[in-house]
Amino acid sequence: MSQKIVRVGIIGGGLMGKELLAATKRWDALVDHPVRPEVTALADPSPAVRDWFINAGVKNIYEGYAQLLADPDVDVVYIAVPHNLHEEIYLATISAGKDFLGEKPFGIDLVAAKKIVAAVQESKVFVRVSSEMPFYPGAQGAINYVKSGALGELVEVRAGFLHSSDLDTKKPINWKRQVKFCGAIGVMGDLGMHVAHVPTRLGLKANSVYSMLDKIVETRLDSKGNEVPCDTFDNAVLAIKGKSSSQEREFPMIWEMKRIAPGESNTWFFSAMGMNGGVRFSTRNPQVLERFTYKDGEQSWIETQPGHKGNWPVITGGIFEFGFPDSLLQMWAAFFAEREGLLGDKFGCARVEEVLESHRVFDAAMKSHTSRASEELEN
Ligand SMILES: NC(=O)c1ccc[n+]([C@@H]2O[C@H](COP(=O)([O-])OP(=O)(O)OC[C@H]3O[C@@H](n4cnc5c(N)ncnc54)[C@H](O)[C@@H]3O)[C@@H](O)[C@H]2O)c1
């Protein structure tokens, strides 16, 4: 199959910008993909980051993002910058008429996210939001089982992302630990869209939220060894009254987002239990998908091994383990195929309406933290 070359510019070449470049280098693992992305440009104020991309062979290197947006050799942009810059850079990219994949949380708060989403909706640009964990084959299996209707009346839904990234209190502070860069929503901005994506895609939405937001480590050392405030929430547990068009009764939905989860490394999980069936999947053990049925008075669990059967077919043997870089490759495969109108019925990247819905939940969670009561979502 001949592939269409799509030229990609990266704004923000840190952790995630580099991951995109690496994903394009493994592109041949995808079978019959209609697009071949080529990273032609990078914009980043950090000289060390620019050097990294020069060494990786990227031709057009800029200090400022406006130069990249004016580059005629850029068809699509990936924006992976601190949250305080989302509104400015996403709006500029829309004004430049460039399609893009924007990193979550897609605006530092609900107000910023609303502005960006309104601008996307008024434009003709193709925009999706980064969220790769649902591309794990086990997560896809869980999604499909819920969609099949096998669960019956929903009893409870749980979704979460548990990190140990901040367990080390000696770890120096960075922008993700400061409200002015990361946002007052703290860990919900960092991990929340990962948690919201699957429930929201399945139509499992929130009516109201009671939140428990926790600041555990109050100060950290900066790069000069000075103790400075670490003022973002580390952990968030949201008790949500959920709604679904398939039933009248509200059901409990628990979302957990933690940067300090002792005993966990990078655990993303989703479970949904109903009166007739249930499902649970966790990246802690990506080779296990558990499906539950309740029939004729008997409860049974079936364990399957989802292997490497991705959303987009790959050359990798179906029995092999799937991991984080594979989920990024699958997310990008879905993004570029959907942009060409060739995704078919495969799972697509998070949409701007979905990230806005997640922000409405986080906004209610912030209000609940102040009122110490359950809060309805703002319309
Ligand atoms: N999808 C995921 O799994 C995932 C994981 C981590 C982070 N993220 C998201 O990705 C985004 C970036 O996070 P990161 O971990 O890559 O951060 P990072 O700090 O590693 O990288 C951010 C980069 O942005 C650059 N930058 C700062 N100001 C800029 C400007 N004006 N123009 C261009 N570049 C600028 C910095 O120099 C840095 O290289 C955030 O929105 C974050 O929430 C997503």
State the sign of the Cα–Cα–Cα–Cα dihedral 28, 29, 33, 36.
negative
Domain annotation covers residue 83: yes
Residues 158 and 177 in one domain: yes
**Ligand 1 centroid – CA 361 distance (Å):** 23
Residues 315 and 236 in one domain: yes
* pLDDT for residue 71: 98
Residues 121 and 149 in one domain: no
* pLDDT for residue 165: 87
Which of 129, 151, 181 corresponds to the end of one domain? 129
Domain annotation covers residue 58: yes
* pLDDT for residue 50: 98
Kindly report the protein residue whose alpha carbon is nearest to atom 41 of ligand 1: 103
Supply the CATH number for residue 350's domain: 3.30.360.10
Which range marks the domain in which residue 263 is found? 133-371
**Ligand 1 centroid – CA 268 distance (Å):** 20
Residues 145 and 119 in one domain: no
pTM, rounded to two decimals: 0.97
Kindly report the protein residue whose alpha carbon is nearest to atom 10 of ligand 1: 80
Residues 34 and 145 in one domain: no
**pLDDT of the chain, 379 residues: tens digit per residue:** 789 999 999 999 999 999 999 999 999 999 999 999 999 999 999 999 999 999 999 999 999 999 999 999 999 999 999 999 999 999 999 999 999 999 999 999 999 999 999 999 999 999 999 999 999 999 999 999 999 999 999 999 999 999 998 999 999 999 999 999 999 999 999 999 999 999 999 999 999 999 999 999 999 999 899 999 999 999 999 999 999 999 999 999 999 999 999 999 999 999 999 999 999 999 999 999 999 999 999 999 999 999 998 799 999 999 999 999 999 999 999 999 999 999 999 999 999 999 999 999 999 999 999 999 999 998 7
Domain annotation covers residue 201: yes
* pLDDT for residue 260: 97
Supply the CATH number for residue 9's domain: 3.40.50.720
Query: What phi, psi does 79 have (nearest 5°)?
Result: -115, 115
* pLDDT for residue 309: 87
**From residue 163, how far is each of 66, 133, 195, 221, 265 by CA, in Å?**
34, 14, 13, 20, 5
Residues 275 and 357 in one domain: yes
**Ligand 1 centroid – CA 146 distance (Å):** 33
Residues 190 and 138 in one domain: yes
Tell me which residues have their CB closer than 6 angstroms to ligand 1: 11-16, 43-46, 49, 65, 80-83, 85, 103-104, 130, 132, 190
Domain annotation covers residue 230: yes
State the sign of the Cα–Cα–Cα–Cα dihedral 256, 258, 262, 263.
positive
Domain annotation covers residue 379: no
Give the side-chain half-sphere CA count within 13 A for 326.
24
Specify whether the CB–CB gap between 82 and 181 falls below 8 A.
yes
Q: Among candidates 264, 104, 283, which has minimal Cα distance to 188?
A: 104
Residues 123 and 201 in one domain: no
Residues 51 and 105 in one domain: yes
* pLDDT for residue 310: 78
Domain annotation covers residue 94: yes
Residues 153 and 62 in one domain: no
In 3-state terms the chain splits into helix, strand, coil percentages (rounded to 5) of: 35, 30, 35
Q: How many domains does one find in the chain?
A: 2
Which of 90, 113, 129 corresponds to the end of one domain? 129
- What are the DSSP E strand ranges found in the chain? 4-11, 35-43, 60-62, 76-79, 99-102, 127-129, 154-163, 205-214, 219-221, 227-229, 235-244, 247-258, 266-274, 277-282, 289-295, 298-304, 375-376
Which of 76, 110, 129 corresponds to the end of one domain? 129
Q: Among candidates 377, 332, 370, 15, which has minimal Cα distance to 196?
A: 377
**Ligand 1 centroid – CA 211 distance (Å):** 27
Domain annotation covers residue 376: no
Q: In angstroms, rounded to a whole number, what is the distance separating the alpha carbons of residues 199 and 216? A: 28
Residues 216 and 101 in one domain: no
* pLDDT for residue 63: 98
Domain annotation covers residue 353: yes
Index of the ligand 1 atom closest to the CA of residue 11: 33
Residues 222 and 92 in one domain: no
